[in-house]
């Protein structure tokens, strides 16, 4: 799957339940879109009169259909403003600048796959369901929402060729998801979880308590609270020949920027991996949700937008 910068057209906008806007994106010339695999996301440039920001959205449609991409975008007034701005400016026929697709949430081969989407976290699960159905693989999709009247994509899920594998759970009804219903752990059983941070930690904690190996619990965060506080430490940017001190409440990205070293960032919440950088010396204090537990233990890479140091000094390949 290649990563490209593209200008795509909003072919359709649908304001769905639960403050979720569904956008259908196409190439303005009608050309096929780049190939994707389930779990992929794109970065969308949200440009307003006063600001520009990149936001990450999972692709929700059938990965085999290269005529269009589907996004589901939750309007979150309490967040940093990207989703509200996009809800304001997205119009049928308008163009959006995007990069991607990228995929760090891809499906692995498994005898049985369980997909758990909380709210708008159902979006990558839809793409996964299409792909698993096309493979003839055994899977269940569990979609958890606060109530039926907030269940976006309901029409699509009911009409989908995999509808019999979909289970909807509403917090205010008997169908509310009970973690007792999680499957037993097995070598060939994999779980995929996406949703708000509280949903993620609740379900991941329950799956781990049930005995599922961390490597079998695949996770995709949409947003995360970032805590960049901690003691000061030094960062040597070896390729640039510059050493900076990272203050108690600032990120490595901010400290490096003071010395003229620019690190590309997108989410600034430790979820997209854009700022991932090689670590040459020292021990990072990983605070991101991008790297796996194994990659964090390896300490050879770190996300500079949110992670800090457990050692007094870090040497980075930048």
In this structure, are residues 284 and 262 in contact, taking their beta carbons and an 8 Å threshold? no
CB of 302 to ligand FES, least distance (A): 10
The C-alpha angle with vertex 90 and arms to 84 and 94, in degrees rounded to 5, equals: 155
Distance, in Å, from the CA atom of 306 to the CA atom of 285, rounded to the nearest integer, reads: 9
Stretch that binds ligand FES, among 117-125, 140-148, 178-186, 269-277 (CB under 6 A): 269-277
Can you read off the two tokens belonging to residue 114?
A: 């369980």
Q: What number of residues does the chain have?
A: 318
Indicate which single residue of 42, 122, 275, 318 sits in contact with ligand FES (rule: CB under 6 A): 275
Indicate which single residue of 38, 126, 244, 303 sits in contact with ligand FES (rule: CB under 6 A): 303
CB of 279 to ligand FES, least distance (A): 14
Examine residue 305 and tell whether it contacts ligand FES (CB under 6 A). Answer: yes
Distance, in Å, from the CA atom of 277 to the CA atom of 152, rounded to the nearest integer, reads: 37
Can you read off the two tokens belonging to residue 304?
A: 């500079």
Can you read off the two tokens belonging to residue 244?
A: 């900076």
CB of 303 to ligand FES, least distance (A): 4
Examine residue 268 and tell whether it contacts ligand FES (CB under 6 A). Answer: yes
Stretch that binds ligand FES, among 156-164, 177-185, 199-207, 265-273 (CB under 6 A): 265-273
Distance, in Å, from the CA atom of 130 to the CA atom of 143, rounded to the nearest integer, reads: 15
CB of 264 to ligand FES, least distance (A): 8
Nearer to ligand FES, 88 or 317 (CB): 317
Stretch that binds ligand FES, among 31-39, 207-215, 234-242, 268-276 (CB under 6 A): 268-276
Q: Is 118 helix (H, G, I), strand (E, B) or coil?
A: strand
Nearer to ligand FES, 212 or 289 (CB): 289
Sign (positive or negative) of CA dihedral 137, 69, 272, 250? negative
In this structure, are residues 108 and 115 in contact, taking their beta carbons and an 8 Å threshold? no
CB of 305 to ligand FES, least distance (A): 3
Indicate which single residue of 288, 291, 301, 302 sits in contact with ligand FES (rule: CB under 6 A): 288
Nearer to ligand FES, 165 or 274 (CB): 274
Examine residue 228 and tell whether it contacts ligand FES (CB under 6 A). Answer: no
Nearer to ligand FES, 144 or 267 (CB): 267
- CA–centroid distance for 293 within its chain: 17
Indicate which single residue of 63, 274, 291, 314 sits in contact with ligand FES (rule: CB under 6 A): 274
Nearer to ligand FES, 39 or 61 (CB): 39
Examine residue 217 and tell whether it contacts ligand FES (CB under 6 A). Answer: no
Pairing of strands 313-316, 233-237: parallel
Stretch that binds ligand FES, among 153-161, 273-281, 294-302, 310-318 (CB under 6 A): 273-281
Can you read off the two tokens belonging to residue 270?
A: 């430790």
Residue 41 to residues 101, 161, 188: CA-CA distances in angstroms?
6, 23, 25
Examine residue 302 and tell whether it contacts ligand FES (CB under 6 A). Answer: no
Indicate which single residue of 21, 207, 267, 316 sits in contact with ligand FES (rule: CB under 6 A): 267
Distance, in Å, from the CA atom of 131 to the CA atom of 107, rounded to the nearest integer, reads: 9
Distance, in Å, from the CA atom of 116 to the CA atom of 110, rounded to the nearest integer, reads: 16
Based on C-alpha coordinates, what's the Rg of the chain? 20
Can you read off the two tokens belonging to residue 178?
A: 């009970």
Q: Given the rule CB under 6 A, which residues bind ligand FES?
A: 265-268, 270-275, 288, 290, 303, 305
């Amino acid at each position: 799957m290649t990563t490209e910068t593209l200008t795509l057209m909003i072919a359709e906008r649908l304001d769905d339940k639960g403050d979720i806007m569904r956008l259908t994106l196409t190439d303005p010339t009608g050309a096929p879109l780049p190939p994707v695999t389930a779990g992929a996301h794109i970065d969308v440039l949200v440009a307003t009169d006063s600001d520009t920001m990149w936001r990450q959205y999972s692709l929700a449609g059938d990965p085999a259909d290269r005529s269009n991409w589907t996004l589901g975008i939750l309007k979150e007034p309490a967040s940093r403003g990207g989703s509200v701005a996009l809800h304001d400016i997205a119009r049928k026929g308008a163009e959006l600048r995007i990069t991607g697709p990228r995929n760090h949430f891809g499906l692995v081969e498994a005898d049985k796959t369980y997909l758990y989407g909380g709210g708008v976290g159902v979006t990558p699960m839809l793409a996964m369901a299409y792909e698993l159905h096309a493979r003839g693989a055994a899977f269940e999709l569990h979609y958890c929402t606060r109530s039926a009247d907030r269940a976006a994509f309901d029409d699509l899920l009911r009409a989908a060729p995999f509808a019999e594998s979909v289970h909807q759970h509403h917090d205010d009804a008997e169908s509310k998801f009970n973690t007792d219903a999680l499957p037993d752990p097995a070598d060939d059983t994999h779980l995929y979880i996406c949703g708000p941070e509280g949903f993620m930690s609740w379900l991941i904690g329950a799956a781990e308590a049930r005995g599922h190996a961390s490597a079998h619990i695949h996770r995709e965060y949409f947003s995360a609270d970032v805590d960049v506080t901690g003691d000061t430490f030094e960062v040597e940017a070896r390729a640039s020949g510059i050493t900076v001190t990272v203050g108690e409440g600032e990120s490595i990205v901010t400290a490096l920027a003071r010395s003229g070293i620019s690190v590309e960032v997108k989410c600034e919440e430790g979820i997209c991996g854009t700022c991932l950088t090689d670590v040459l010396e020292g021990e990072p204090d990983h605070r991101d949700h991008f790297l796996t537990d194994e990659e964090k233990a390896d300490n050879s890479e770190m996300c500079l937008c949110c992670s800090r140091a457990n050692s007094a000094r870090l040497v980075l390949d930048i």
